[in-house]
């Protein structure tokens, strides 16, 4: 295990960058050496993140690969999709570890990437080398990984909600139907119509209902888990909360004899030793985003309607923590050899 790992955050002024800073300044094995922002170059971090005033004195700089390579061992890329593409190979060539929080290296198949993101991937060889940063599925591959592709928030919740049932072949996987409720921070810190919180307050409406790009990650990861091709459809809904993702994944059992105990055992078998998974049974009866806000926990549950053979898996996460910055740090900890919960021991907030 390394100590005092030097870390750079590229794209540190957005919501995810702010959460990376908040988490990593509490990390006992990390030194934050570089934080970049085009908009706030030369200004203290608290210009973008007033809640960190008096906690971190670092100033934002512009992106300079030489400066980063001289002062960092690992780089967190908190950049928009398609912006990380060309940074990653340069950083890897210089021997740095990279945790990319964009979608640019999540998908193994370059044709699938082109379908969902509208451009040919310029480095298809790196797609095969990147490790999908979902620790619950890829913990062993993450050890000593140099390129980690951190999952999308909707994909994280969807995969975790149903993975045990896929693994145990309890459900029909010819078509999984995923309903996602997402808070407005998922849209990022730059307002635009539809993503801007005032447009979402007191509203509940679907978006990208004809096909959301995170479903590609869901199909990829669940297909690997099942050992066969899985099809899924994912419809997100904008709700008036600021943080949080609740995924409800609908499927049918393959055997009418399946009961709640068998389903419960499948979840317990897969998740009972996971440090950031809490299986919800009792009070409250199902996962609720309200009880994970500010934490790296994923609350998981299920329901079975025997009358029609329908089973639904639920997952509630904070989209900015388990769905982004926290999960990225969790994967980084595994890669470097730190205890998995370093920097991530903050419990959820209540009330939130």
Q: Mean pLDDT, to the nearest integer, of 293-321?
A: 97
- Among the residue ranges 186-200, 238-252, 334-348, the one predicted with the least confidence is 186-200
Burial 239-269 (b: 16+ CB within 10 A, else e): bebbbbbbbbbbbebeeeebeeeebbebbee
CATH code for the domain defined by 5-129: 3.40.50.720
**pLDDT at residue 241 is higher than 90:** no
Express each pLDDT in 150-168 by its tens digit. 999 999 999 999 999 999 9
Q: Is 65 left (phi over 0), alpha (psi -120 to 50) or beta?
A: alpha
Q: What stretch(es) of the chain map to CATH 3.30.360.10?
A: 153-319
Task: Please pick, among 21, 103, 153, 215, the residue that the annotation labels catalytic.
Answer: 153
Instruction: State how far the Cα of 346 lies from the Cα of 324, in Å rounded to an integer.
Output: 15
Instruction: State how far the Cα of 315 lies from the Cα of 160, in Å rounded to an integer.
Output: 7
User: Residue 41 contacts by C-beta under 8 Å, 6 or more apart in sequence?
Assistant: 60, 61, 62
183 carries an active-site annotation: no
pLDDT for 14 equals: 93
- How far, CA to CA in Å, does 39 sit from each of 42, 69, 76, 104? 9, 22, 18, 23
Structure tokens at 16: 């995810």
- How far, CA to CA in Å, does 310 sit from each of 171, 173, 226, 265, 307? 9, 12, 19, 17, 8
Percent of the chain with pLDDT over 90: 86
Q: Using 50, 70 and 90 to split pLDDT, how confident is the model at 2? A: low
Q: What stretch(es) of the chain map to CATH 3.40.50.720?
A: 5-129
Side-by-side strand order, sheet with 176-182 = 205-206, 232-238, 176-182, 245-252, 310-317, 298-305, 277-279
Evaluate whether 318 touches 324 at the Cβ level (below 8 Å). no
153-319 maps to CATH 3.30.360.10: yes
Q: Mean pLDDT, to the nearest integer, of 219-244?
A: 94
Torsion of CA 256, 258, 260, 263, to 10 degrees: -130
Instruction: State how far the Cα of 251 lies from the Cα of 324, in Å rounded to an integer.
Output: 26
CB atoms within 10 A of CB 82: 14
Express each pLDDT in 266-306 by its tens digit. 999 999 999 999 999 878 899 999 999 999 999 999 999 99
Name residue 311's beta-bridge partners. Answer: 251, 304
pLDDT for 187 equals: 57
* CA-closest candidate to residue 222, choices 132, 90, 101: 132
Name residue 181's beta-bridge partners. Answer: 237, 246
Instruction: State how far the Cα of 149 lies from the Cα of 129, in Å rounded to an integer.
Output: 10
- How far, CA to CA in Å, does 29 sit from each of 5, 215, 261, 333? 6, 35, 42, 9
* CA-closest candidate to residue 127, choices 142, 99, 157, 147: 147
CB atoms within 10 A of CB 74: 21
Express each pLDDT in 69-87 by its tens digit. 999 999 999 999 999 999 9
């Amino acid at each position: 295990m390394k100590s005092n790992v030097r870390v750079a955050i590229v794209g540190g002024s957005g919501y995810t960058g702010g959460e990376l800073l908040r988490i990593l300044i509490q990390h006992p094995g990390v030194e934050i050496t570089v934080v970049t922002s085009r908009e706030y170059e030369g200004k203290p971090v608290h210009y973008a993140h007033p809640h960190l005033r008096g906690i971190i004195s670092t100033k934002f700089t512009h992106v300079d690969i030489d400066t980063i390579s001289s002062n960092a061992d690992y780089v967190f890329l908190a950049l928009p999709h398609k912006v990380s593409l060309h940074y990653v190979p340069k950083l890897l060539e210089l021997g740095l570890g990279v945790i990319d929080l964009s979608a640019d290296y999540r998908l193994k198949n370059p044709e699938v990437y082109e379908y969902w993101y509208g451009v040919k991937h310029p480095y298809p060889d790196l797609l095969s080398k990147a490790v999908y940063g979902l620790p619950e599925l890829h913990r062993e591959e993450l050890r000593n990984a140099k390129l980690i592709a951190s999952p999308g928030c909707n994909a994280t919740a969807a995969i975790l909600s149903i993975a045990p049932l896929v693994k145990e072949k309890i459900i029909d996987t010819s078509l999984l139907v995923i309903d996602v409720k997402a808070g407005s921070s998922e849209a990022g810190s730059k307002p635009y119509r539809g993503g801007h919180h005032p447009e979402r307050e007191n509203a509940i409406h679907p978006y990208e209902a004809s096909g959301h790009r995170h479903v590609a990650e869901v199909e990829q990861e669940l297909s690997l888990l099942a050992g066969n091709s899985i099809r899924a459809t994912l419809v997100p809904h904008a709700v008036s909360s600021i943080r949080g993702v609740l995924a409800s994944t609908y499927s049918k059992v393959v055997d009418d004899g399946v009961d709640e105990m068998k389903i419960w055992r499948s979840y317990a078998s897969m998740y009972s030793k996971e440090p950031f998974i809490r299986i919800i049974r009792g009070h409250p009866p199902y996962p609720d985003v309200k009880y994970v806000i500010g934490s790296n926990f994923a609350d998981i549950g299920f329901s079975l309607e025997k009358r029609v053979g329908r089973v639904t898996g639920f997952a509630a996460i904070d989209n900015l923590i388990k769905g982004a910055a926290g999960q990225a740090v969790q994967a980084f900890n595994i890669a470097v050899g730190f205890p998995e919960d370093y920097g991530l021991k903050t419990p959820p907030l209540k009330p939130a």
